Amino acid sequence: MSDYLLHEISYQKTPELVFSFLKKLPWAQLLDSGSFSNQNSRYDIMVADPLVSFTVSRGTVQITHKNQPATYSKAAIFELIKQQLKRKTVQIDELPFNGGALGYFGYDLFSENSLSHETTDIGAIPDLAVGIYDWTVITDHLKQKSFFFSQTDNDQSQALLQQIKAYLITGAIYDDTPLAIEKLHTDTDRTSYTKAFKRIQQYLLDGDCYQINYARCFFAKHTGSAWASYRLLRKNNPVPFGAYLNFPFAKILCASPERFLKLEDNKVETRPIKGTRPRGKNAEKDDLLKHALSDSTKDRAENLMIVDLLRNDLGKTCKIGSIKTPELFKVESYPTVHHLVSTVTGELDDGNTALDLLFHCFPGGSVTGAPKKRAMEIISELEKNRRSIYCGSIGYISYSGNMDTNIAIRTMTVNENKLNFWAGGAIVADSEADQEFQETRDKARPFFDLLNVSE
């Protein structure tokens, strides 16, 4: 008997059927490519039932080994995860993820400024939730193949494989009732937004920052199924870096178009988004909006500020002279918006790991502003709620050392009978309050449509 188990299963055009089975298991998580098959996103990755799970709340780490009581620690969470990733493992080159760490890193995880006395925690979920997994189901949409992989070939992994194969033949995706709400609330209406906007403009004028990313939160009581709504979300708003995370404390629905950090064979890539226009109601209007974004001096300047910030962040862990910008100001179109996207690359320096790279770049500059530290202080001062998972990151770090993570924008948290989601945008010196306020509505559109509401 071999040490590992790699078995090809029937190709899954969407992850919905497999995950309908896996979500019954503890800590089931789905990283969803939206069935894209390009260089930026081609894999669906599904895991459940971790060997170890970590959560972090206000600096305290909860560690839970399978079938054992939880323990608590004040140790540095990334060091704890690093220790888990040192396990002796099998590497399968054709799979992007060979088991390892998978979960989310909340925006406030390392922020000394996230506990402002004026800031509340509307989401009330941990600042981090990461599992260590020794098996996975992966679909490669470019090759149109799906696999079950386990680091160990034993009775348990064989039994799980047989259960998955049986479910693919006889199982069903239950047509649950999607999420529904009576009234959508926001922590920042137009009047409050305009007041904060003016304060930000003063900070910009005073030279505190060049750019500040300001966001507002939407929330509501709800009924219905988060999983049913996620299936609608991925159908109506396919993106390359989506996710559905099924934790005992919350369900996370993510429709992010933005890659944060990818690390493969020591090659680093980040693809910041900065610059947005809504989609037009007809082809002519849509094309005009797309070209307006491409030609916008303001949006290009915002994008370039973040590119420079990320080049600086990558410089903390990448080899000197390796950082390049192969692509600037590319327009990418999604169902509700056009985005301006750039690409920055580098080569990880000797002695650094994926977690070192993530730590020194976190949170992503595209969702803070520049310079990052001062922008985050101003965000903490002006925003009324901790961002929680919003503007953090969701993704994996494989036992192999490879990593792929998103920026957790277009992300909804659903727990008990409450849900919340955010929308924001970059404010610079020549921004206009009404346009920036409307941009938050444009970015929230996928969730407005999902819930059949408007602001």
Mean pLDDT along residues 315-322 = 97
How far apart CA 395 and CA 41 sit, in angstroms, is 12
Cα maximum dimension of the chain: 68
| Relative orientation angle of helices 433-451 and 226-236, to the nearest 10 degrees | 120
- The rounded mean pLDDT for the chain is 93
Element housing 158 (H / E): helix 155-170
Cβ contact 213:425 at 8 Å? yes
Mean pLDDT along residues 85-114 = 89
Confidence of residue 120 (pLDDT cuts 50, 70, 90): low
For the record, the structure tokens of 140 come out as 């490669």
Between 115 and 208, the more confident residue is: 208
Mean pLDDT along residues 221-246 = 95
Is 258 tagged catalytic? yes
- Beta bridge partners of residue 178, listed in sequence order: 225
Cβ contact 99:138 at 8 Å? no
How far apart CA 329 and CA 346 sit, in angstroms, is 18
For the record, the structure tokens of 366 come out as 């595209």
- CA-closest candidate to residue 253, choices 51, 31, 73: 31
Question: 432-448: b or e for each residue (b if 16 or more CB lie within 10 Å)?
Answer: ebeebbebbebbbbbbb
- From residue 140, give the alpha-carbon distance in Å to each of 14, 94, 95, 158, 224: 11, 9, 8, 22, 31
The catalytic residue among 16, 251, 258, 436 is: 258
Q: Which amino acid is at 12?
A: Q
Q: Which residue has the tokens 């179109």?
A: 333
pLDDT tens digits along 144-163: 999 999 999 999 999 999 99
Is 112 tagged catalytic? no
Read off the DSSP letter of residue 409: -
Whether cis (ω within 30° of 0) applies to the bond prior to 248 is no
pLDDT tens digits along 185-201: 999 999 999 999 999 99
Confidence of residue 112 (pLDDT cuts 50, 70, 90): low
Cβ contact 77:56 at 8 Å? yes
How far apart CA 163 and CA 170 sit, in angstroms, is 10
Cβ contact 31:45 at 8 Å? yes
Q: Does the pLDDT value for residue 114 go beyond 50?
A: no
Read off the DSSP letter of residue 348: B
The catalytic residue among 251, 262, 274, 443 is: 274
Q: Does the pLDDT value for residue 137 go beyond 70?
A: yes
Alpha helix ranges (H) inside 296-432? 297-314, 354-361, 372-382
The model's pTM: 0.95
